[in-house]
Amino acid sequence: MVYHGLVATNARAIRGCRHCRSRGNSKPGAGRSATRGGARVSENVYWQGRDDQSQQKLNSLPPQSLSVTTQTVQQGGQTVVSVTLENHGNIPALATKLTVVDSSGKRQLPVLYSDNYLTLLPHEPRKVEIHCPAGGQCSQLQLRGWNVVPAVVNIAAAGS
């Protein structure tokens, strides 16, 4: 299927979560990606259980610590932050959310994220680009998720 130049690829099974299957989830996940010119522009991941009870097993996923690095540049009056996330664990990190805040923890708006609410499979890196408004106080990045250890990371100053 093609929608507005986006190609929706076939659904694919997501493997690599023995923890999910061993807890009664015979269908650990499925995903669908949309691409434009061969580059992924969208991806949706769905975790499926055999029944309602097995779906509750997602609540027992152990927390995952993610590594986060940032690089910042000034571009067209905006601050552009390139974030690299990586799941070094053996369990998927579900619904990983990034939030840009100032030094006091106040959310900064408007901020444009190239991706958010991510699923990171074991040992998977992912890059996210964040555009902060001119004059914004985008100094920290909050990280949280379904089974993600919450963290606050200082955003590197431009050129550092």
Residue range 99-133, pLDDT digits in tens? 999 999 999 999 999 999 999 989 999 999 999 98
49-53: long-range contacts, CB 8 A cutoff, minimum separation 24: 49/24, 49/25, 50/24, 50/25, 50/26, 53/24
Residue 41 is encoded by which pair of tokens?
Answer: 């522009």
DSSP state letter for 156: P
DSSP state letter for 107: B
Quick check: is 159 in a domain?
Answer: no
Q: Which domain holds residue 10?
A: 2-60
Clarify whether residues 45 and 96 are in a common domain. no
Task: State how many domains the chain has.
Answer: 2
End-to-end CA distance of the chain: 43
List all residues 6 or more positions away from 123 whose beta carbon is below 8 Å from its beta carbon.
86, 87, 88
pLDDT category of residue 11 using cuts at 50, 70 and 90: very low
Say what percent of the chain tops pLDDT 90. 52
pTM: 0.77
Last residue of a domain, one of 39, 60, 81: 60
